[in-house]
Amino acid sequence: MVDNLLRRAKAFIGLEEEEGQEQPTQMDMTTFLKGGRKPKEKDESEYEIILYEPKVYEDSLNISMYLRQGSPVIINLRHLEPTEGTRLVDFVCGTAYAIDGQMTKIGDSIFLFTPKAIRITDVEEKSPISDALLGEDKKGGFFGDR
């Protein structure tokens, strides 16, 4: 009887698990403290790529906000003058640099910016098949020099 009471007291404090119950995790306690609502976690289906066609330079702030929140952003500069587009890309590049992200030009006036968690890999540069076929010396072509 005393052992049972002591065990239940320890379980209440969090020093021991009560029989039939699992100990609450940190997320469960946070959920409890926030009124019972579970915080939304990103899973594979919740990621999104933002497609942005800025009309003014000030749109760079919104683009940077998406990037800082962890969403990859594709920017199409077709509606901007070339000088404004250059300024916008420079600004967003600064944001990407600050969060350890990446930038890749994927078209004449189309750029892809990604946060740190998402890496951009060029298939042509990192092709394991071509590396194996060309060998260490990178001879060129499938059959090397003829």
What the block records as the tokens of 19 is 């029989």
67 vs 96: CA distance, rounded Å: 7
Residue 112 near residue 104, CB atoms below 8 Å: yes
Q: What integer pLDDT is reported at residue 60 of this predicted model?
A: 92
Q: What integer pLDDT is reported at residue 105 of this predicted model?
A: 92
Domains present along the chain, CATH in parentheses: 2-33 (no CATH), 44-114 (3.30.110.150)
* For residues 50-62, average pLDDT: 92
What the block records as the tokens of 57 is 């330079």
87 vs 113: CA distance, rounded Å: 15
pLDDT of residue 24 exceeding 50:
no
82 vs 29: CA distance, rounded Å: 52
Tokens 């119950």 belong to 21
* For residues 94-117, average pLDDT: 92
Beta strands across the sheet bearing 110-114: 50-52, 73-76, 110-114, 102-105
pLDDT of residue 113 exceeding 50:
yes
51 vs 77: CA distance, rounded Å: 11
pLDDT of residue 94 exceeding 90:
yes
pLDDT of residue 82 exceeding 80:
yes
